[in-house]
Amino acid sequence: MTDDTSRPSSEGLGLHALRRRFGTHVALRDVDASLPAGLITTVFGPNGAGKSTLLRILAGSLRPTAGSVSWRGEKLDPRSADWRSRIGVLSHATHLYAPLGARENLAFHARMHGLEAPDLDAALERVDLLSRAEDRVSGFSRGMRQRLALARTLLHDPDVVLLDEPFTGLDSHAARLLEGVLRTLRDGRRTVVLVTHALGEGLALADHVLLLVRGSVRLDAPASDFEVDGFAERYHGIVDAAETGLAATASGSPA
Amino acid sequence: MSDERAVPGWLSVVAAVAGKDLRIEFRTRSRSFTMAGFVVLVGVLFNFSIDQALVRPQDIASGLTWITLILSGLIGVGRTFAIEKEDGAMSGLLLTPAPRDAIYIGKVVANFILVFGIVLLTLGVFGLFFRLDYGNHPGTLLLVLGAGALGFVALATLFGALTASTTLGESLLPILLFPLLVPMVVYGASASGRLLAGRPVAEVAGQGRMLAAFAVLALGAGAALFGQIVEE
């Protein structure tokens, strides 16, 4: 949950009537929301809610069918090199080269970002992998790979960090370490967007909560409004109501 | 945007991508061993299947070299994006501000080094099995084969990126690629055949220029289209 020392420093990401279609399927339906700078926004939602689609649009790997994204009040081109130099993306795919060592992976990433003298030791130390710096990633466990992926994500000091189900497949130790590093991102400057199914972990990290169901925003509120148990109840209530409403609409009966 | 961010240099990206691909290949040898094995196999098979009392190796060496170059090249270059697909590495690469044409040229450089190594191996194997005479201008012969290898690699890398994202994958690559390689094979086989036969360099100058033009066009098209192909 948020504390009073971590308030948004400036306007962050704005989503304006964002829509994305895949054929006849609408993954995002005119989404309007603000993702404040300096805070962690957790995006919740059941499967097929459009969470990953939203993240892919923000990362510039998918074009919206309609609508736009703004950053610090200005319309954004998510495919521009400038934007790509500002974002860090962590997902369940680690984006690492298994035959290369941990340090080699980071060094390659640093060159793709034009970093002249990256502190690779500090980056590896941050995720507790300095002792394995020269080891090839092919010999790493899932948790170690995810930690190295986190180091890669943060190496170029991104303004915006996009996290897509980062806890998937991690044991409790790796999840705790990841959670610890993610907490350090709440530094008043960075905009962090976390997409997850995990209600407890997601809410524990969140300052702001967004709930998507079938591509629409159903809840947009500060995380401090909720306790974990109360949030789970509210979440299931909203999701069930939305799903029931859609089923009723499809069958022609009133919801 | 207000604050400035670091911008990756074009040449730095080319060198980094090429270096990364070559380092991975050096460690895994996943492509080079298969390509080299194919070349040796072709040499052995033709050694047994050709009656050298009736057919002069010099007469068929040129065509055989180009066929070996293309088929072994397909084996190697076709898998150039396999490592990028593992654990979403290519997606990660595309999330960086690195210029897409520089990524493409970096991959072409790595593939060219690999394929040109196979060209040298092919000439060595044919020399060993057929006692092939490399003609009066072996340097020019290497230039001709090098230009052909560059044109081939430029197109194969581009189409490799295209087919890597399809369900048909590598099996689609030769279908798309072979028709486009016809001009290169026509000029290349003719030029190298003449050089192996000991004809003067002036006789193959036109074919050499066509091969160079083909390589330049293929590289230009690849650099221009690569970004469109790998991004949505």
C-beta atoms of B95 and A59 within 8 A: yes
In a domain, A5, yes or no: no
Domain residues for A225?
Answer: 13-251
In a domain, A6, yes or no: no
pLDDT score recorded for residue A247 = 61
Q: Is A104 on the interface with B (CB under 8 A)?
A: yes
Q: Is B231 on the interface with A (CB under 8 A)?
A: yes
Is the CB of residue B57 less than 8 Å from the CB of residue B142? Answer: no
B139-171 core/surface letters (b: 16 or more CB in 10 A; e: else): ebbbbbbbbbbbbbbbbbbbbbbbbbeeeebbe
CA distance A205 to chain B (A): 25
Q: Render B126-167 in DSSP notation, one character per residue.
A: HHHHH-----S-HHHHHHHHHHHHHHHHHHHHHHHHHHHTSS
Sign (positive/negative) of CA torsion A6, A33, A192, A112?
Answer: negative
Q: Which residue has the higher pLDDT, A12 or B221?
A: B221
Angle at B220 between CA B217 and CA B226, to 5 degrees: 130
CA distance B97 to A59: 12
Q: Is B51 on the interface with A (CB under 8 A)?
A: no
Q: Is A109 on the interface with B (CB under 8 A)?
A: yes
From A86, A99, A112, residue closest to B16, measured CB to CB: A112
C-beta atoms of A59 and B96 within 8 A: no
Q: Would you say residue B113 has pLDDT above 50?
A: yes
CA distance A182 to A173: 14
CA atoms within 13 A on the CB side of B122: 30
C-beta atoms of A115 and B6 within 8 A: yes
CA distance A104 to B119: 30
Ramachandran sector of residue A70 (left: φ over 0; alpha: ψ -120 to 50; beta: rest): beta
Number of compact structural domains in chain A: 1
Percent of chain A with pLDDT over 70: 92
C-beta atoms of B96 and A79 within 8 A: no
CA distance A186 to A66: 31
Q: Return residues 61-80 of B near A (CB < 8 Å).
A: none
Is the CB of residue B70 less than 8 Å from the CB of residue B185? Answer: yes
Q: Is B82 on the interface with A (CB under 8 A)?
A: no
Q: Which residue has the higher pLDDT, B77 or A103?
A: A103
C-beta atoms of A99 and B28 within 8 A: yes
DSSP designation for B80: T
The string of pLDDT tens digits covering residues A157-187 is 999 999 999 888 787 888 888 888 888 888 7
CA distance B52 to A201: 74
In a domain, A72, yes or no: yes
Q: How much is the mean pLDDT over chain B?
A: 90
pLDDT score recorded for residue A251 = 56
DSSP designation for A224: G
In a domain, A228, yes or no: yes
Q: Would you say residue A255 has pLDDT above 60?
A: no
CA distance B227 to chain A (A): 11
From B6, B27, B87, residue closest to A94, measured CB to CB: B87
**Crossing angle for the helix pair B138-164 and B100-130, nearest 10 degrees?**
130
Q: Nearest to residue B35, comparing CAs of B81, B63, B70?
A: B70
CA distance A100 to chain B (A): 7
Total Cβ atoms within 10 A of residue A5: 7
In a domain, A97, yes or no: yes
Chain B residues closer than 8 Å to A145 by CB: 87
A173-188 core/surface letters (b: 16 or more CB in 10 A; e: else): ebbebbeebbeebbee
Q: Return residues 176-215 of B near A (CB < 8 Å).
A: none
In a domain, A3, yes or no: no
Q: State which residue of chain A sits closest to B15, comparing Cα positions.
A: A111
DSSP designation for B86: G
Chain A residues closer than 8 Å to B98 by CB: 112-113
Q: Is A114 on the interface with B (CB under 8 A)?
A: yes
pLDDT score recorded for residue A3 = 45
Q: Would you say residue B156 has pLDDT above 90?
A: yes
CA distance A2 to B56: 83
Tell me the one-letter amino acid at A110: A
Lowest mean pLDDT among A51-60, A123-132, A209-218, B52-61: B52-61
In a domain, A137, yes or no: yes
Q: Would you say residue A75 has pLDDT above 80?
A: yes
Q: How much is the mean pLDDT over chain A?
A: 88
Chain A residues closer than 8 Å to B13 by CB: 111-112
C-beta atoms of A82 and B16 within 8 A: no
pLDDT score recorded for residue B172 = 85
DSSP designation for A72: T
Q: Is A41 on the interface with B (CB under 8 A)?
A: no
Q: Per-residue confidence at A252, pLDDT binned at 50, 70, 90?
A: low
DSSP designation for A79: T
Residue to mutate among A11, A20, A85, A148, with most B CBs inside 10 A, is: A85
C-beta atoms of A85 and B12 within 8 A: no
Report residue A89 as tokens: 């993306």
CA B193 to chain centroid, in Å, comes to: 19
Q: Is B98 on the interface with A (CB under 8 A)?
A: yes
Q: Would you say residue A17 has pLDDT above 70?
A: yes
C-beta atoms of B232 and A63 within 8 A: yes
Q: Would you say residue A233 has pLDDT above 80?
A: yes
Cα–Cα separations (whole angstroms), residue A252 to A25, A216, A244, A247, A249: 20, 21, 12, 9, 5
pLDDT score recorded for residue A248 = 59
